[in-house]
């Protein structure tokens, strides 16, 4: 069994991005990310802080736009329009969740697909669906990078994705399909879920349910990717019962130190990619 070390993998991605950013700066362009945070969600504030730290570390510029809870849809869209127009901004990130009165789908749709470094705009989602080049949602992109770096072959494998959210489950399934896995997507209405997971070569768990995936649901030698982040009395835990599942898995990601750091690294990577696109490669 091997533990996939997302933390050190992310550090090596950031290291190679640093030199790419230096090259871009010599060409007179500094990658610049705009982050919009609406409201006072505590977890979002931590995520945004982590992202800003990571940006600065690789030399990416970072601009924060903190909007109050009572921000209207018109005000939010007007800000997105202004950021879309600014030539010195290469990426726009809208942190979720947003206050309930705002329509997040409409906001994502308004972000220019060229600056959509989170890959949530329908144009980029469509491109992923068609297996075309575009921005891919950072968490699935980070997981695909893990497979690549650990030489994990996906072709022909039976992959099960637990969760069908627009930001993780669905794009994850498409990424795996695009690499020729046979993909099954499970959700809250799925029947006989354990029977499905027991036949899987690869299981990606993105539910938000602490220690949901247990040893008896996993076949010997399966590859286990844990996306879940659950704050419990015993600290941060994933969606996988790590201590027991690791006894049967061939590869497994820990929480923390697995998928999370890779998600942030892929965001940086998408901002650099966007800056390069702006100068034509």
Q: Give the catalytic positions in this structure.
A: 51, 95, 118
Which CB atom, from 38 or from 162, has the smaller least distance to ligand NAP? 162
The Cα 22–Cα 41 span in angstroms is 34
DSSP state of 94: E
The Cα 281–Cα 277 span in angstroms is 5
What is the bridge-based pairing of β-strands 235-237 and 230-232?
Answer: antiparallel
Give the containing element (helix H, strand E) for 226. Answer: strand 223-226
Supply 88's token pair: 């010195």
The Cα 277–Cα 279 span in angstroms is 5
CB of 52 to ligand NAP, least distance (A): 16
CB of 223 to ligand NAP, least distance (A): 17
Supply 230's token pair: 């659950």
Output phi, psi for 137, to 5 deg. Answer: -45, 135
Which CB atom, from 62 or from 212, has the smaller least distance to ligand NAP? 212
Question: Within 10 Å of residue 278's Cβ, how many Cβ atoms?
Answer: 17
Secondary structure class of 63 (helix, strand, coil): strand
Which CB atom, from 71 or from 263, has the smaller least distance to ligand NAP? 263
CB of 147 to ligand NAP, least distance (A): 16
Which CB atom, from 249 or from 266, has the smaller least distance to ligand NAP? 266
Half-sphere exposure for 261 (CA within 13 Å, toward CB): 18
Question: Within 10 Å of residue 2's Cβ, how many Cβ atoms?
Answer: 12
Which CB atom, from 38 or from 138, has the smaller least distance to ligand NAP? 138
CB of 225 to ligand NAP, least distance (A): 10
CB of 173 to ligand NAP, least distance (A): 11
Query: Whose CA is closest to 193, among 214, 174, 217?
Result: 217
Residues at the site binding ligand NAP, with contacts judged by CB under 6 A: 139, 162-165, 167-169, 186-190, 206-209, 227-230, 259-260, 263
């Amino acid at each position: 069994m091997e533990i996939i070390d997302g933390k050190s993998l992310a550090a090596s991605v950031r290291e190679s991005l640093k030199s790419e950013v230096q090259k871009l700066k010599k060409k007179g362009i500094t990658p610049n990310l705009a982050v919009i945070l609406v409201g006072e969600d505590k977890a979002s504030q931590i995520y945004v802080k982590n992202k800003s730290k990571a940006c600065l570390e690789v030399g990416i510029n970072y601009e924060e736009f903190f909007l109050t809870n009572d921000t209207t849809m018109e005000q939010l869209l007007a800000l997105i329009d202004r950021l879309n127009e600014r030539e010195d901004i290469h990426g726009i990130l809208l942190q979720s969740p947003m206050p309930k009165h705002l329509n997040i789908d409409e906001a994502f749709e308004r972000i220019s697909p060229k600056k959509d470094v989170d890959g949530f705009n329908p144009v980029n989602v469509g491109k992923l669906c068609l297996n075309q080049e575009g921005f891919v949602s950072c968490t699935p992109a980070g997981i695909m990078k893990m497979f690549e770096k650990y030489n994990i072959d996906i072709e022909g494998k039976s992959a099960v994705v637990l969760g069908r959210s627009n930001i993780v489950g669905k794009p994850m399934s498409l990424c795996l399909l695009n690499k020729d896995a046979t993909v099954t997507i499970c959700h809250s209405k799925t029947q006989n879920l354990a029977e499905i997971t027991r036949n899987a070569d690869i299981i990606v768990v993105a539910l938000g349910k602490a220690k949901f995936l247990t040893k008896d649901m996993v076949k010997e030698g399966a590859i286990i990717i844990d996306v879940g982040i659950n704050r419990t009395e015993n600290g941060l835990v994933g969606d996988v019962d790590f201590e027991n599942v690791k006894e049967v898995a061939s590869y497994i990601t820990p929480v923390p130190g697995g998928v999370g750091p890779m998600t942030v690294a892929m965001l940086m990577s998408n901002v650099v990619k966007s800056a390069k696109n702006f100068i034509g490669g």
